[in-house]
Amino acid sequence: MIPVRAYFNLLSDYLRPLRPRVALLAVVLFGTIGLQLVNPQLIKRFIDGALEGRGTSELVPIAVAFMLIAVGQQALAIWSTYLAEDIGWTATNRLRANLTDHVLHLDMGFHKGHSSGELIERIDGDVTSLSNFFSAMMIKVVGNGTLVIGILVMLWLESWIVGVSVTIFTILALGTMTGLHRIAVPRWRAVRATAAEAFGFVGEVVEGTEDITANGSAPYMEERFNDIHRRWLPQTIRGWMGWAWMWSTTIVLYGLSTSIVFILGSWLFGIGTLTIGSVYLVFHYVEMTRHPMEQIRSQMEDLQKAGAAIARVDELMAATTRLRPDGDETINAGPLRVTFDQVTFSYADGEDEESDPDDEIVLHDVTFDIAPGRVVGLLGRTGSGKSTIARLITRLYEPQSGTVMLDDVATWDAHIVDLRKRVGMVTQDVQLFRASVRDNLTFFNDQIGDEEILDAIHRLELDSWLASLPDGLDTLLESGSGGLSAGQAQLLAFTRIFLEDPGVVVLDEASSRLDPATEALIERAVDHLLEGRTGIVIAHRLGTVTRADDILILDDGRVVEFGERRTLAADPGSRFSTLLATGMEEVLA
């Protein structure tokens, strides 16, 4: 059960900036309620006047006033609905933005444990479940609750006996629906969790379609998908059963309320306490309670879903990052010194008491110092920690101990936006967006003009690559591979980094073989990209190491050799010399 405080906190946090619109909605809403309560009084006067034999001169004005008020009430109802929807979508869009910002500031450990499909469902799907909660809360709960109270007041003024009877009945009805609501919230929470799992699974399958098909794993994936749906369907049925209980309860309660009105109305008319007009008025008011009670019941259904969504939103907001709070120091321009001082790192978060942290350590007391402007070839077997070093430099992760520094600034003391502008990284898997080449190069930064882009392409000697694109900078790319070859995607990534003008460039060399023309383009582009910058090249091929000034070799998360390339190559006892003699591709496999 989600406590009322959770609903209130969410409403107050996201409706506070919208106070003027909320105040206007309240005025319009209470105006609508007032007109709804006044109009039945006119019907009573009309009926009693007609039975008393009053002329049309008195009855027609009452009828005209009734119609004008009815039209005015409908106009205010439309306006209040518009205001409520506007407030609801504005509030939920702010919530989406806050959730997205929070998730983007979490470390990569969190993102490795949550698929893109799951995060999309939690940020958009759960928040969409709250859109009606925000937009309809004022109208369907506050508004209709106020209307019910107003109706009860009118009934008390008409007859205290009717007022007492209907008040007790209404309290019991709302208590019953609230009890059913408490039962249903956990069920909808389970439905939302399974939905997120399903969407996450679909996202993974879509991304890996090629590998799944090529390896004949489609039947297995279908069975996993079916398994999720076998759990999802019963949970959904149980969730909707909560709605069915409240719906059927409302129908039964309405039938009882009608019976009570007929019995009391007949008795009170018989003893002369109420007139025919008053009896109709009582019946009309009780009939009017049906709509707000139905609305409140309907909103209870949304509150079930909202309660589950709020719990999941709070859970996502409560996710913490292993990254320390950003500092405010700036990093100098130009080539940067990169220093690792006794850095130890593990991908395990240490929260699992049964796991041994020592078994998960990826880097052990790693220490090295790369001078500004030097290019370092980073070598090591698969799993030796090469990519981890790149992730620590870009501060995708934080070391458990030790310090990573750029010049004299520890990475956690620098503002993360400034740090990532000063460090550029090109991985083997280049992320492309469904947008033009221009937008993919600038990351949608419209402050970078075409002249600057073309100058970067020219300086990287990529004019022929640009000329090979059908529409130049306006060529539309698709997400994922984007319709580009692996080599073309690498060239695009180089241009991105060149436009940022970082002080450190980290290159994870693509291991796939390229055609000679594209490979020549990439080699020239890499030379220009590393010029005047500190470079760290995670090397997989002997040809790449020849451009390095220094060599850094890792083995099992430890630095086993670091020195000038020429000196190490000339030393028969060095690890690097052994690699050259044996064949680096075989030794590092």
Residue 64 belongs to some domain of the structure: yes
Place of tokens 């107050």: 12
| Res 27 pLDDT > 70 | yes
Could you tell me the pLDDT band of residue 405, with boundaries at 50, 70 and 90? very high
| Res 375 pLDDT > 90 | yes
Are 288 and 436 in the same domain?
no
SS3 string, 286-311, reads: HHHHHHHHHHHHHHHHHHHHHHHHHH
Residue 544 belongs to some domain of the structure: yes
Are 297 and 378 in the same domain?
no
Are 265 and 381 in the same domain?
no
pLDDT in tens, 167-191: 877 777 777 766 766 676 677 777 8
CA dist 120 → 127, 196, 322, 361, 522 (Å): 10, 8, 22, 31, 35
Q: What is the CATH number of the domain that holds 230?
A: 1.20.1560.10
Are 382 and 284 in the same domain?
no
Residue 350 belongs to some domain of the structure: no
Are 449 and 566 in the same domain?
yes
pTM of the model: 0.63
| Res 300 pLDDT > 60 | yes
Domain that holds residue 105: 4-318
Are 381 and 256 in the same domain?
no
Are 39 and 182 in the same domain?
yes
Residue 561 belongs to some domain of the structure: yes
Other beta carbons less than 10 A from residue 370's beta carbon: 23
Closest residue by Cα to residue 435 from 472, 482, 471: 482
Residue 359 belongs to some domain of the structure: no
DSSP secondary structure of 148-215: HHHHHHHHHHH-HHHHHHHHHHHHHHHHHHHHHHHHHHHHHHHHHHHHHHHHHHHHHHHHTHHHHHHT
Are 475 and 559 in the same domain?
yes
CA dist 328 → 102, 105, 320, 331 (Å): 19, 16, 21, 10
SS3 string, 52-77, reads: CCCCHHHHHHHHHHHHHHHHHHHHHH
Are 236 and 312 in the same domain?
yes
Are 464 and 558 in the same domain?
yes
Place of tokens 């309860």: 249
pLDDT in tens, 216-244: 778 888 888 888 888 888 888 887 776 67
Averaging pLDDT over each range in 191-200, 434-443, 479-488, 541-550, which range is the top one?
Answer: 434-443
Annotate 298-336 with b (16+ C-beta within 10 A) or e (fewer): bbbbbbbbbbbbbbbbeebeeeeebbeebbebebeeebb
The pLDDT score that the predictor gives to residue 351 is 43
* Domain end position, chosen among 300, 318, 336: 318
**Can you tell me the distance from the alpha carbon of 214 to that of 24, in angstroms, rounded to the nearest whole number?**
60
Residue 412 belongs to some domain of the structure: no
**Can you tell me the distance from the alpha carbon of 54 to that of 66, in angstroms, rounded to the nearest whole number?**
17
Is 393:366 a contact under the CB 8 Å cutoff? no
Lowest mean pLDDT among 109-113, 125-129, 351-355, 543-547: 351-355
| Res 124 pLDDT > 90 | no
pLDDT in tens, 514-543: 667 777 778 888 888 888 899 999 876 666
- 537: three-class secondary structure by DSSP: strand
| Res 138 pLDDT > 70 | no
The pLDDT score that the predictor gives to residue 505 is 92
**Per-residue pLDDT averaged across 12-23, rounded?**
82
**Per-residue pLDDT averaged across 286-300, rounded?**
70
Residue 251 belongs to some domain of the structure: yes
Token duo for residue 337: 């010194």
* Domain end position, chosen among 299, 318, 337: 318
Could you tell me the pLDDT band of residue 160, with boundaries at 50, 70 and 90? confident
Total structural domains within the chain: 2
Are 284 and 381 in the same domain?
no
Q: What is the CATH number of the domain that holds 510?
A: 3.40.50.300
Q: C-alpha 467: how far from its chain's center?
A: 38
Pairing state between β 534-538 and 504-508? parallel
Q: Which is higher by pLDDT, 587 or 147? A: 147
Residue 575 belongs to some domain of the structure: yes
* Domain end position, chosen among 294, 318, 342: 318
Are 119 and 252 in the same domain?
yes
pLDDT in tens, 308-352: 778 788 888 888 887 777 788 888 888 999 999 999 998 875 444
Q: Which one-letter DSSP state was computed for residue 95? A: H
Could you tell me the pLDDT band of residue 562, with boundaries at 50, 70 and 90? very high
